[in-house]
Amino acid sequence: MNDIRCLFVGLILLGVLKTGYSEKSCSCNNKWKLVATTNETGNVTQGSKTELIQAVLNGAELRIQLASSGYLTSVQNIQVLNDNVCVQALFHISKASYDAFQENAYWWFLYVCSSGRTNIARYYVGEYVSAGRSEVDYAIKWFIRPMQNVALEQTGENSVMSGNIVDLINDVESGSDVRIVSSRNGYSVEMDSVEVSTDRSLVVGQSVFYISTTVDDASNYKFENNSYWWFTNWATDSTVHASFWNIGEHVSRGNNVYKFPIKWYTESCWQLAYQHDASGNQVQGSLEFLRSAIKAGHRLKIVYGDRTSVEPDDINIRNGHVTAFIFRMIGKNPQNIKAFDNGVWDWRMITTTGTETTLKVNYGEYIEQGRSNSNIEAKWFVDTRHWKQVLVNSNTGSIISGSKSDLIEAINAGSRVRYLLEFPGKDTVAIKEADNLAISGNNVGAMHVRSVSKGSAHGNNYEYRFAVEPYFYFTISSTTGKVDMSRWTVGNHQNRGHSNSQAKIKWFVN
């Protein structure tokens, strides 16, 4: 990427936000690269599988598109198997059409290999009951984006490191994404959250979304028959603590501790937008800058308690204050940040008022382990990548600006897609990132599966509290303004309603 283009993007950001971004690195402007297209029989019809494998082993981010339908999805983890790459794409709920869920919701877990084979496991939401399995052959487009830095490398056996843990800690504390590659087993995964120990001698990254697998043959992995989740904590002393739980029920399948060689990759496309103390007073940056960056499509990362970095699953802006909703954390042993507690979700919401609200609930059943409200200091980072607004549709589906074809073009180029939802008469703007995107004619449906119900905090116009019997809610937001919502009680296969409403939606791509 040449300097003129970097400067150009910097100026666009200046224009949109009227505040300067520090352009830390020109590689923050890298686009997704279509590195290979594989067909139903695993033949490469464009690009190179070797280049795909090299990119994965060098820590690249990856997105995949089903070539026949244009269905684009995030992937939760990546595995190299001999001459092929297999990925788990787990964030899908069963649909009746591109813009509506089915009534009896099930998870649609995909294990997609560049051999052409895709293994599909379906489980009803909230219970350990299979809704069927199948195998299909898909042609796949593989999009990659390299990570910039190897912050730290460990051999596994005796924890010898090259690189410096201080570099890794600095990157974590400046909002960087963190990805690990375990070269011995060809496994690559982005950390869902990262914690630095109080004495700053250890970094532990947590990964929540991996389902147990077996090797099918020399080219394919598949989900195990009696699949279970692997929750893993990856530590800079080379240990990996794993905790295994049946899908959809609170039944332990054991735990283990491994020693793996781990490479830690980071990027530095982030800047501090706002920092407040535990009373919600400004320390650095500005709340207005944070709000405008989020409303211009930028990703958000929070570093709270001076130790933990996490990207929220949902964001709301309510009467000027920002709330980050964090659902991608599993509780850790209070005595040992490398180890797990007993299969407990550790959910929290943090508001720029300086309030943190938590809910701990057993994974796979509704048994609460505690709630709290407290004051917390936090740093709010926004990414410095270029997010382009491609479309604004009104709540009746008319086009206010941009075009649907620009959005579809961006999807076909592998882009991440974020969107802002404004419902008429509500004091809240909701911001989401698409977990998957379906194209239907000239319309697009963006699915988001990572939401939990909440209520307003009593007598407070900014904050939220977790609901009493909370439900997960899945949404499909489409370019017609329709927002389809399917609700399921946390920990049970209990339907809490399926409905739809209309919203004005601003669409951003990167």
Ligand X SMILES: *[C@@H]1O[C@H](CO)[C@@H](O)[C@H](O)[C@H]1NC(C)=O
Residues near ligand X, by CB under 6 A = 39-43, 45, 225
Nearer to ligand X, 248 or 285 (CB): 248
Burial class for 436, CB neighbours closer than 10 Å (0-12, 13-18, 19+): buried
How far from 10 is each of 19, 145, 239, CA to CA, in Å?
10, 20, 40
Nearer to ligand X, 83 or 288 (CB): 83
Least distance CB 119 / ligand X (angstroms): 11
Nearer to ligand X, 49 or 263 (CB): 49
How far from 506 is each of 290, 295, 340, 402, 480, CA to CA, in Å?
18, 9, 39, 10, 12
| Cβ neighbours of residue 191 closer than 8 Å, sequence gap 6 or more | 177, 178, 179, 180, 205, 206, 207, 234
Nearer to ligand X, 2 or 134 (CB): 134
Distance CA 323, CA 350 (A): 5
How far from 288 is each of 319, 400, 447, CA to CA, in Å?
12, 25, 29
Nearer to ligand X, 86 or 178 (CB): 86
Nearest Cα residue to 345 out of 194, 463, 468, 491: 491
Can you state the angle between helices 3-17 and 287-295, rounded to 10 degrees?
110
Least distance CB 72 / ligand X (angstroms): 21
Nearer to ligand X, 214 or 405 (CB): 214
Least distance CB 462 / ligand X (angstroms): 51
Nearer to ligand X, 116 or 470 (CB): 116
Q: Cβ distance 178 to 194 under 8 Å?
A: yes
Nearer to ligand X, 132 or 334 (CB): 132
Least distance CB 43 / ligand X (angstroms): 3
Least distance CB 39 / ligand X (angstroms): 4
Q: Cβ distance 138 to 67 under 8 Å?
A: yes
Least distance CB 203 / ligand X (angstroms): 38
Distance CA 100, CA 107 (A): 15
Nearer to ligand X, 38 or 182 (CB): 38
Least distance CB 84 / ligand X (angstroms): 8
Least distance CB 471 / ligand X (angstroms): 31
Least distance CB 56 / ligand X (angstroms): 17
Least distance CB 91 / ligand X (angstroms): 24
Instruction: Name residue, tokens 């669409």.
Output: 507
Q: Which residues of 264-291 are buried (b: 16+ CB within 10 A; e: fewer)?
A: bbbbbbbbbbbbbeeebeeeebebebbb
Nearer to ligand X, 41 or 162 (CB): 41
Least distance CB 409 / ligand X (angstroms): 25
181 beta partners: 188, 263
Nearer to ligand X, 121 or 296 (CB): 121
Residue type (1 letter), 136 = V
CA angle in degrees (0–180, nearest 5) for 426-448-479: 65
What's the token pair of residue 390?
A: 């491609």
Stated length of the chain: 510
Distance CA 256, CA 244 (A): 9
Least distance CB 253 / ligand X (angstroms): 15
Nearer to ligand X, 137 or 409 (CB): 137
Q: Looking at 396-498, list the stretches that DSSP marks H as alpha helix, in order from N- to C-terminal side.
A: 404-412
Nearer to ligand X, 46 or 284 (CB): 46
Using Cβ positions, the residue closest to ligand X within the complex turns out to be 43
Q: Which residues of 210-241 are buried (b: 16+ CB within 10 A; e: fewer)?
A: bbebeebeebbbbbeeebbbbbbbbbbebbbb
* Number of Cβ atoms within 10 Å of the Cβ of 328: 20
CA angle in degrees (0–180, nearest 5) for 260-261-264: 115
Least distance CB 130 / ligand X (angstroms): 8
